[in-house]
């Protein structure tokens, strides 16, 4: 599902249908391609275009593309691959999304063109690379200086990156790390007790909030790597956490409660300075990279980082050694390259 950026409009994809909700009621989005079976939706920042994944085109390559639906003309064109929601940078002009695979997930960044309509994502060469798959939609901080990604399919990982440097400032596991397969039942139970929607950046610069199964909120100061726990829901597990446009935190409990939490947001002067910093960050990121020329062979154009090291596409095509402490995706890539070279 996805909210319109300006209007009280919620759009939901389900069972081959796309349904719109407004305060006036429900209706179906008409004139979609007959083969549309969307799993992810996102509005463009101006709200005039609906991005949808996977593509309604060739079924065999549907996940290699996306649909771009012009809401004014009800026409569909082809867009780049993405599959896990779209985050808009608060300064505008840039979005972040994910392209997932079981071996590794790419965190993609794209410049957004609104003219000529429909709005298009222009994928950039500079990208993140994450182990495995199963991540949630990336989250930008209100000042645009940090990006958080929650995942993955095998444990409750949490990674936070500085923007525009993409330097990783936090990498941790919520709860106990994975003990490996086969998973003990008690570990699976505690892993599943953590909500997949338990992260939010408030209005305070450099502060990430994390909801827990114990009903507490953890306030993480990314600058000094300090965390403070707040007892908010009195033992009722946090099932959802989000930030309002005005800076308050909205907390949902597994018991069915909603709590609105006001958090000190800083002075108007500080917020104005943050806006300038946010715009400068987007400009710096765009100036330091270029657009991917061909979506058909995306990985050959990307320059990827895990937040600590950076690899050009040529590096990954030739790497043949990896340590046990290296990311799983890098170990797999080295093994594949060794097998390929032996077959020559």
Q: What is the pLDDT of residue 266?
A: 58
Q: Average pLDDT for residues 48-57, to the nearest whole number?
A: 94
Mean pLDDT of the chain: 92
How far apart, in whole angstroms, are the C-alpha atoms of residue 79 and residue 206? 33
d(C-alpha 249, C-alpha 207), whole Å: 12
Interval 135-186: pLDDT, tens: 999 999 999 999 999 989 999 999 999 999 999 999 999 999 999 889 999 9
pLDDT of 344 over the 80 cut: no
pLDDT of residue 272: 55
Residue 64 in contact with residue 77, Cβ under 8 Å?
A: no
Percent of the chain residues topping a pLDDT of 90: 74
Summarize the confidence of residues 177-206 as an average pLDDT. 94
Q: What's the whole-number mean pLDDT along residues 231-258? A: 92
Query: For residue range 15-24, what is the model confidence (pLDDT) as tens digits?
Result: 778 999 999 9
Q: Model confidence at 241, in pLDDT bands (50, 70, 90)?
A: very high
Instruction: Work out the average pLDDT over 283-296.
Output: 90
The two tokens of residue 294 are: 């061909």
Is residue 309 very low, low, confident or very high in pLDDT (cuts 50, 70, 90)?
A: very high
More confident residue, 340 or 139: 139
What was the pLDDT predicted at 271? 54
Give the list of residues 6+ apart from residue 237 with CB closer than 8 angstroms, or none.
Answer: 193, 195, 212, 213, 214, 215, 253, 254
pLDDT of residue 83: 93
Q: How far apart are CA 251 and CA 234, in angstroms?
A: 13
Per-residue CA distances from 107 to 79, 85, 271, 308 (Å): 16, 11, 28, 15
Looking up tokens 């950026």, which residue turns up?
Answer: 5
Cα-Cα-Cα-Cα dihedral sign, residues 41, 149, 100, 291:
positive
Chain CA centroid to CA 130, Å: 11
Q: Using CA atoms, how far apart are residues 327 and 333, in angstroms rounded to an integer?
A: 10
CA 51 to chain centre: 15
CA-based max dimension of the chain: 64
60-81: pLDDT as tens digits: 889 999 999 999 999 999 999 9
Q: Check pLDDT > 90 for residue 88.
A: yes
Res 239 pLDDT > 90: yes
146-151 and 10-14 beta bridge pairing: unpaired
**Would you state the pLDDT for residue 114?**
83
Residue 277: is its pLDDT beyond 90? no
Contact (CB, 8 A) for 311 and 304? yes
Predicted local distance difference test score (pLDDT) of residue 274: 66
């Amino acid at each position: 599902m996805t909210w319109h950026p300006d209007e009280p409009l919620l759009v939901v994809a389900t069972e081959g249908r796309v349904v719109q909700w407004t305060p006036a009621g429900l209706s179906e989005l008409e004139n979609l391609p007959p083969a549309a079976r969307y799993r992810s939706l996102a509005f463009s920042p101006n709200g005039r275009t609906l991005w949808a994944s996977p593509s309604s085109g060739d079924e065999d390559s549907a996940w290699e593309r996306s649909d771009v639906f012009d809401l004014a003309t009800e026409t569909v064109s082809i867009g780049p691959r993405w599959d896990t929601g779209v985050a808009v940078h608060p300064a505008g002009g840039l979005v972040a999304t994910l392209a997932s695979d079981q071996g590794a997930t790419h965190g993609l960044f794209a410049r957004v063109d609104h003219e000529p309509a429909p709005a298009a994502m222009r994928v950039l060469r500079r990208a993140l690379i994450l182990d495995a798959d199963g991540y949630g939609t990336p989250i930008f901080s209100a000042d645009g200086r940090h990006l958080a990604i929650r995942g993955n399919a095998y444990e409750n990982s949490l990674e936070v990156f500085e923007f525009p440097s993409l330097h990783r400032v936090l990498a941790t596991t919520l709860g106990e790390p994975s003990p490996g397969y086969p998973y003990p039942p008690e570990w699976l139970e505690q892993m599943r007790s953590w909500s997949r929607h338990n992260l939010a950046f408030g209005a305070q610069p450099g502060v990430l909030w994390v909801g827990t199964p114990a009903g507490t909120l953890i306030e993480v100061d990314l600058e000094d790597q300090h965390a403070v726990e707040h007892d908010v829901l009195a033992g009722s597990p946090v099932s959802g956490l989000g930030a309002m446009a005005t800076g308050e935190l909205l907390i949902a409990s597994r018991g069915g409660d909603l709590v609105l939490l006001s958090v000190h947001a800083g002075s108007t002067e500080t917020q104005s300075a943050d806006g300038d910093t946010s715009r400068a960050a987007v400009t710096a990121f765009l100036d330091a990279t270029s657009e991917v020329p061909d979506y058909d062979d995306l990985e050959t154009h990307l320059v990827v980082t895990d937040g600590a090291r950076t690899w050009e596409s040529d590096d990954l095509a030739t790497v043949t050694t990896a340590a046990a402490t290296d990311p799983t995706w890098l170990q797999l890539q080295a093994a594949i390259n060794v097998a390929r070279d032996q077959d020559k």
